[in-house]
Structure 1
Amino acid sequence: MDCRALVRSLRTEARRANERRLLVLAGDRDIGLETALDAVRASDDDSRVLDAGTGDSDSAADTDSTLVSTREVPGVETVEPRHASDLLGRTRRTVILDCHADFSPNAVGRTVGAVDGGGLFVLLTPPLDEWPDRRDDFDERLAVPPATVADVGGNFRRRFVGTLRDHPGVAVVRIDSDGNLVIERDGLTDPFPARERPAVEAPGTAEFPASVYEACLTPDQADAVATLEMLRNPNTAVVVESDRGRGKSSAAGLAAGALAAEGRDVLVTAPGYRNAEEVFARARAVLRDRGMLADGSPNADSPRLLIAESGGRVRFADPPEAVDLLASDPPDALLVDEAAALPVRLLSDLAGGPPVAFCTTVHGYEGAGRGFSVRFREHLAESDREVSAVRLDAPIRYAAGDPVESWAFRALLLDARPPVEQVVADATVDPDHTAGSGSLVYRALSPEDLLADEHLLREIFGLLVTAHYRTEPDDLARLLDAPNLRIRALCWQGHVVAVALLAREGGLPEDLRQSMYDGARVRGNMLPDVLTSQLRDVDAAIPVGQRVVRIATHHAVRSRGLGSHLLDEIHEEFAHEMDWLGVGYGATPDLLRFWSANDYGVVHLSTTRNDTSGEYSALMLRPTSDAGQQLHDRHADWFADRVRGLLSDPLRDLDPDVARSALRATDADPDTDRSPADWRVVVGASYGAGISAVSPGAFRPLAVAGIVDDLNGLDADEERLLVRRALQCHDWESVADELGFVSKAQCMRAFGDACKPLVDAYGTEVALAERDRLVGDETTE
């Protein structure tokens, strides 16, 4: 059998079963590409390979085949690997992924789902025996200074090659040194024929038009649309879950179009607009088919807006903007697509508005953080909303049991899970640290350990997925091959209950430090980069540290101290070989309290919000040497000094509880030195009849110091008042309204009362004498 015949056989079998097949052409790149294009063309006279690559969904829908490569081929739709996300939500008969120059696991995750039932996914690879030891552009990105590409491992590729050689439905053709094609595996499985799709009908209770249900391809999809009808009712929430390729976004789009046709305003949000393109495509089709799509909707000026003749609309906003719109321009219904790729805090904010649907991929490239499935689902269940849930199991693009889908899940660990609850439910921290079968075991895990134990690898990666809302296939390669990363875990009776991913940072040579200071980006050195380039500390990248990139505790044993215990073990291990331990994350009060309780101190708050999470980032350090202590102290002291300007300008909208928690987590000695004139104003506003407006700057250092020092006499409400008025400079009326005062005058009196502990603690002789005089006057009166 030659390669053309093999491709025909693979296609014939794939069509018969409505499945997909994977073809690997391993060897010379030019021969592999020529063979792939020739075999694909010859295997199906109807397939067309067009020169498109425009990224426009309508034109791309007419394209049968796509090449994903750094090399452009005339007459072929070619997409660069870094733009492979253009294929998300689209279908192709054939996708050819060139793995020679820039093999990114993300590109595999983005492209494999674009292949339709009966289609072919083709990988062009180096010789499989040699591939793990080769290095390409992706490895260059893993080579974090001071490491070089020679330090990058080949473990991910070694495991990846193993899946290609033994998974059903994968054909392997070797291109030998003479250019001959040798079929090593034919990939044929002799599957059962595909079953007929069951008919889809509108339920008897349907409120949406029958045509909306007729557009559904499976009963699962119709059930999802019927459940989404709940968005017509107040105080409701709908959760739609599915694996990739089940049609959840299409169902959401059908419902959005039906709601807009009724005259309702539907707001759609997702991590990025590309995630919501299918929602808009289906909503547009509903309105167009009903003759209700208004002229010019959408147009070049507003591609993210559909307007219905009824006055309804479907509009898109990024997640932080969507939260703001819930108050400023509230919609009638909210659709959140790829909800698991958003942090829990943001999901909670989005749940506070109109009827809302959260649609998410359970296992898939888009992100499947169990913050959604565990923590947020609990939050939603405890709310006063009527919650309905629906799950789509039947694939739409291909038949259930498709071998290429199960291969992708296995190769990229898209379905990795933490241990089941029952086996770790009794895990606790042993205060005596005694050994024994029931004790926690601290483990330093090497990539070789993980490769040798697939179960361990899946538990580790499954826990890391729960820790972060945007864990990607590239992260698996980093875990196994990046020279700057280390893995530390706590195990209970052989199962992982907590894991931390650490990144070595700093220790950079002088030339790199200077280039960083001059604005160059140095990969993988986040904390030194910020301290050097933004905060202008030319020596910040000299000390060497370990940054906690991710930390996760199994959800069944949270709040038992396991995360803190893991951090203590890490500190004990690295205290004598590193200068600092550090972390950077989206700041929330709970997280700031957690890291502060583990002796990490705030040295910086970012001045811009993360586009997806809507949070400002906190950078924290825990010194482990004299050099690390000096680095921490100079930045903590400077943060305590400059935070007054930060809060009154770029961080003026920072949540006051985040500001309070950040200040409490700052290990510094703030300056409270004020002039006699300033002290008389402060004392007058607190103990007398003075007003703060005549010298607002006099109060700011004192407010910072009081919160940093956790001053006795200041309660939480008084700290919020100091943050909003003294530090963020909000006007009295808005502060009074936000903090629940009945009037501006009451708010001003409370502010004066909040300043009394500041006078008592930091007042000079002049200040205390003025206080005593005013108190004496009050007593006399």
Structure 2
Amino acid sequence: MNVAALAADLRAAARRSDHRRLLVLAGERDAGVDAAFDAVEGAAIPDEETTIVTTAEGFRFERVAPNHARELLGTTRTAVIYDAHEDFSPNALGRLVGTVDGGGLFVLLAPPLDDWPDRPGSFESSLAVPPYAVDDVGGRFRERLVGTLRDHPGVAIVDVDAGTVERRGDADASAPARSTPSTPPAGTRRFPAAAYEACLTADQSRALHALEALEHSVGGTDGEQRDAEGEADEGRRRAVVVEADRGRGKSSAAGLAAGSLAAAGRDVLVTAPDRRNASDLFSRASELLSALDALGDERSGDGPLRARSGGRIRFAPPAEAAELPDDPDVVLVDEAAALPVRLLSSFLDGPAVAFFTTVHGYEGAGRGFSVRFRDELDGRDHDVTEVTLSEPIRFAPADPVESWAFRALLLDARPPVEALVADASPSSVDYRALSPEELAADEHLLREVFGLLVLAHYRTEPDDLARLLDAPNLRVRVLEHEGHVVSVALLAREGGLDAETRRSMYEGARVRGNMLPDVFTSQLRDEEAGVPVGYRVVRIATHHAARSRGLGSTLLSEVRTEFDGDADYLGVGYGATPDLLSFWESNGYETVHLSTTRNESSGEYSALMLDPLSEVGRALCDRHARWFRDRIGDLLAEHLRDADPDVVRGALAACEAPLSLDLSDYEWRVVVGVAFGPGQYATAPRAFRRLALAALVGAGEEGEDGPDGEPTLTPREERLLVRKVLQTRPADAVADELGYVSARQCLRALGDAYGSLVERYGGTNEVVATERERFGE
């Protein structure tokens, strides 16, 4: 075996095609490390262009710990050595492959390939959530990974224990020619020529030219807005959508656009799920401003990047950016697929916005973004420009290592094509429980299931593929239409924990894979919450071509039927929106908790809901619903003061813990005085809060209507109770939000609403009757 010579041949072939090659060094760790040194030397790769990702220390080139692999995102290396012996994860593998430059080598140190599926590491240990042990974790993902290594072009395998070359990694050494970027003529462009000269592909040039629509929207150098024919186009809003696979330079294009806009004096607001996602954008913008001699004061930390023209580029987290602070001229949204539609819609209120999203990869699902958001975008009065970047930046097209990563990690997984499921309905589908063995044995089925999960949720990532195949606590249930998956639910078994685990959780220990018992026990102080066995709906997704037909509800109904008698409850936790609250309530789930902090990326408060299946589950649900009912009034006045009133209404409506009124005679007199006379709301605020909660908790269920069968309150009146009474907002602010002409009219409407509540709740009370007579009621 001559690893150095093999590595030299691999790199020579890679450089001829401007592709990469993958070298697997399988066997015991020390032998693999020695062979990796030989490979780097044989391939003549300088130490400064090499990174090893490992838990071990003492290397002459850069070392990065596996749990810091994310730090290499956006960097380019000629050789990356990934030690998969101890701390291997699919996510890290996906991140690291993308950092290798064309003509470079990705070196994977692995256990003997025949043994690897049966050698669990730290990642597999993380899948052994209580009450399961590591012996319960499967090896199907590693078995599948080994299979792709052994038959994919461009992958060489060396058995370092036996000293033999198993595969030489032959692949087509030819590659499509790279495109040549171009600069539009001066009369047809608004961005400076230097921005186009910084582009690396024709795709990037084309994307940058499309992004000039943002400058058009906020006015060109002549201060006017013009349409394509040169006519004045004042007030026209514009949106640009840029989609690309990883490594196509979309963030760089965003940075060049941001720098061009700032150089022209524009205020550019940048947002992304994580500040690190925007680092490349800011780097490219800074480089362009420097090249233009337009860079202002040096950027301090995470502060704005300023241009001499007065323009600036600043970052804000998604929830903050959605408020459009300081009225930016342009908003750039990177990794847009990772944000909920509610936030994305807020950015459309600005004069110009661009959305950048990854089509395939663990950062997000561009396809999901387009499906979920396009209806919203098409419904707005925006000129929309769309552009797709397909040519890679770091290497030539048709790179075998990229196609291997896509295949091994299912980065390109898609649900069935629309035509195959377009006619699906609750009457045409079959319910099916899919075992991990079935998924591992049927690549087509696995791709359909995983593709739907990717489409439905931006956080579906390579680690989730391994969980799907190997995690002992997960269950997969689907609806199939004519043999194709049209709806999927991913369930996690939770609870059934022993006394010692419950005690440690109560005292603050985190117990993986038991989200609902964890919150109930550690936060809500219920040490017995870990006793019942439940199944939490981690994800549920229906094909976009068959939505709004009841398939999601059909799937949940089938799940309930299957687990009724085998579990104590079904549960769910999610970022609460009015539509989602309505969906889960309509399927029998009851609110038991609303978080008091917003999710940093989605900007939503999380709701926890339960659907009891047994007496034990009913007891758990009932006591947490009561506790939620009893604390929510105080939370709304403080920690949840900014919650969407329709989220509050939905959460309270789905809480099955009706509030019994205990108003004193004095409080009833004050309430009647406000409703029918000259009373003051502030005289007895507790009474008004109690009545508001009584009206909103369980609303929508039998018994909430008034005597004539009509709803007691209108939706607007319910929002008024939430905003003014429960969240204690000023009357003038509530009036503006809810469309009352003045604070006085708002308070008058509040009195009318309480008049309806007096009718409903005080009809048999003698004090109420007496007070109403005094006001002629």
Shift of residue 776 of structure 1? 5.6
Structure 2 counterpart of 1:207: 190
Distance in 2, matches of 1:604 and 1:403, equals 49
Match of 2:456 in 1: 467
1:343 and 1:371 in contact (8 A); partners too: no
Range 744-753 or range 667-676, more displaced: 667-676
Find 2:91's aligned residue among 106, 109, 122.
106
Q: 1:196 to 1:706 in 2, by over 3 A?
A: closer
Give the match for residue 272 of structure 2. Answer: 270
Among 541, 546, 555, the alignment partner of 1:552 is 541
Task: Note if contact 1:167-1:407 (Cα within 8 Å) is conserved in structure 2.
Answer: yes
Deviation at 1:754, TM superposition (A): 0.8
Residues 1:584 and 2:573 are matched in the alignment: yes
Spell out, residue by residue over 1:92-131, the C-alpha distance to the aligned partner (whole angstroms, 9 max, x if none).
1011111110110000111111011101111100000000
Question: Partner letter of residue 227 of structure 1?
Answer: A
- Structure 1 letter corresponding to 2:724: R
Give the C-alpha shift of residue 185 in structure 1: 0.3
Is 1:669 matched up with 2:654? no
Alignment of 1:610-759 (within 5 A): 610-710=599-699, 711=704, 712-759=711-758
Amino acid at match of 1:74: F
Residue 380 of structure 1 corresponds to which residue in structure 2? 377
In structure 1, C-alpha distance between the alignment counterparts of 2:763 and 2:480, rounded to whole Å? 55
Q: How does 1:22-171 map to 2 (within 5 A)?
A: 22-44=22-44, 47-50=45-48, 64-171=49-156
Question: How far did residue 366 of structure 1 move?
Answer: 1.1
CA displacement, residues 697-724 of structure 1 (integer Å, 9 cap, x when unaligned): 1111211110124242200000000000
Q: Determine helix, strand or coil for the equivalent of 1:89.
A: coil
One-letter code of the match for 1:505? E
Aligned to 1:55: none
Q: Deviations over 1:12-57 (max 9, x none)?
A: 010100001101000111111121123213321xx3324xxxxxxx
The letter for the 1-side match of 2:425 is: T
- Residue 190 of structure 1 and its aligned partner are, at CA, apart by 4.1
Alignment of 1:450-599 (within 5 A): 450-599=439-588
RMSD: 1.4
Shift of 1:764: 7.1
1:218 and 2:216 aligned: no
Which residue of structure 2 aligns with residue 58 of structure 1? none
- Describe the superposition over 1:165-195 as per-residue Cα deviations: whole angstroms up to 9, x where unpaired: 000000011122xxx4211000022412663
Of 687-696 and 15-24, deviating more is: 687-696
How far apart, CA to CA, are the structure 2 residues paired with 1:387 and 1:771?
61
Q: Using the alignment, how far apart are the partners of 1:355 and 1:563 within structure 2?
A: 36
Separation of aligned partners in 1, 2:386 and 2:84 = 40
CA contact (8 A) 1:683 1:771 kept: no
TM-score, reference length from structure 2: 0.94
Pairs within 5 Å for 1:277-426: 277-295=279-297, 297-299=298-300, 302-324=301-323, 326=324, 328-368=325-365, 370-426=367-423
Q: CA deviation at 1:282?
A: 0.6
- In 2, the alpha carbon distance for the partners of 1:190 and 1:636 equals 63
Distance in structure 1 (CA, Å) of the matches to 2:20 and 2:100: 7
Does residue 260 of the first structure (1) align with residue 245 of the second (2)? no
1:775 Cα deviation after fit: 4.8
Deviation at 1:256, TM superposition (A): 0.4
Change in 2 beyond 3 A, CA 1:701/1:212: same
Is the contact made by 1:344 and 1:371 (CA closer than 8 Å) also made in structure 2? no
Shift of 1:293: 1.2
Which residue of the partner structure matches residue 224 of structure 2?
none
Structure 1 position 620, deviation (Å)? 0.2
Task: Answer yes or no: is the 8 Å Cα contact 2:672–2:771 preserved in 1.
Answer: no
- Offset of residue 212 of structure 1: 0.9
Residues 427 and 199 (structure 1), Cα distance of their counterparts in 2 relative to 1, 3 Å cut = closer
Instruction: Name the stretch that deviates more: 730-739 or 507-516.
Output: 730-739
Alpha-carbon distance between aligned partners in 2 of 1:590 and 1:628, rounded to the nearest angstrom: 26
Change (3 A) 1:346 1:175: same
**Regions of 4+ moved over 4 Å:** none
Q: Contact 1:200/1:217 (CA < 8 Å) preserved in 2?
A: no
8 Å contact 1:543–1:628 — kept in the other structure?
Answer: yes
Q: Which amino acid aligns with 1:396?
A: I
Q: Deviations over 1:272-299 (max 9, x none)?
A: 122111111110001011111123x223
Cα distance in 2 for residues equivalent to 1:775 and 1:285: 78
In the TM superposition, residue 772 of structure 1 has moved relative to its aligned partner by: 5.2
Change (3 A) 1:771 1:49: farther
Structure 1 length-normalised TM: 0.94
Identify unmatched segments of 5+ residues in structure 1.
51-63, 431-438
Q: Which amino acid aligns with 2:139?
A: G
Quote the Cα distance in structure 2 between the aligned partners of 1:580 and 1:175.
Answer: 51
- d(CA) in 2 for partners of 1:100, 1:352: 50
Whole-angstrom distance in 1 between the partners of 2:100 and 2:19: 10
AA matched with 2:734 = V
Whether contact under 8 Å (2:176, 2:398) holds in the other structure is no
SS in 1 for 2:776: helix
Amino acid paired to 2:768: E
Cα pair 2:4 2:41 within 8 Å, conserved: no
Whether the 8 Å CA contact 1:220–1:392 is kept in 2: the answer is: yes
Amino acid at match of 2:16: R
Structure 2: which amino acid aligns with 1:259? Answer: L
Deviations 1:577-602 (A, max 9, x none): 10000000000000000000000000
Q: 1:491: Cα distance to partner?
A: 0.4
Larger mean CA deviation between 17-26 and 701-710 belongs to 701-710
Aligned-partner Cα distance in 2 for 1:9–1:567: 55
Q: Quote how far apart the aligned CAs of 1:369 are.
A: 5.6
Structure 1 residue 777, shift from structure 2 partner? 3.4
The alpha-carbon deviation at position 196 of structure 1 amounts to 5.2
- Deviation string 1:553-595 (CA, Å, 9 cap, x unpaired) is 0111101111001001000000011000000000000000000
Match of 1:59 in 2: none
Post-superposition shift, 1:370? 3.7
The worse-fitting range, judged by mean Cα deviation, of 74-83 and 496-505 is: 74-83
Aligned partners of 1:369 and 1:465 also within 8 Å: no
Matched residue of 1:602: which SS? Answer: strand
Q: Measure, in 2, the Cα distance between the counterparts of 1:729 and 1:674.
A: 20
Task: Give the residue type in structure 1 aligned to 2:241.
Answer: V
Amino acid at match of 2:199: C
Q: Classify 1:520/1:748 alpha carbon distance in 2 versus 1 (closer, same or farther; 3 Å).
A: same
CA distance in 2, matches of 1:304, 1:419: 45
Offset of 1:382 from its aligned partner? 1.6
Name the aligned partner's letter for residue 742 of structure 2: S
1-structure distance, mates of 2:256, 2:102: 22
Q: Is the 8 A contact 1:261 1:309 kept in 2?
A: yes
Write the deviation string for residues 248-290 of structure 1: whole angstroms up to 9, x where unpaired. 1111100100101111111111111221111111100010111
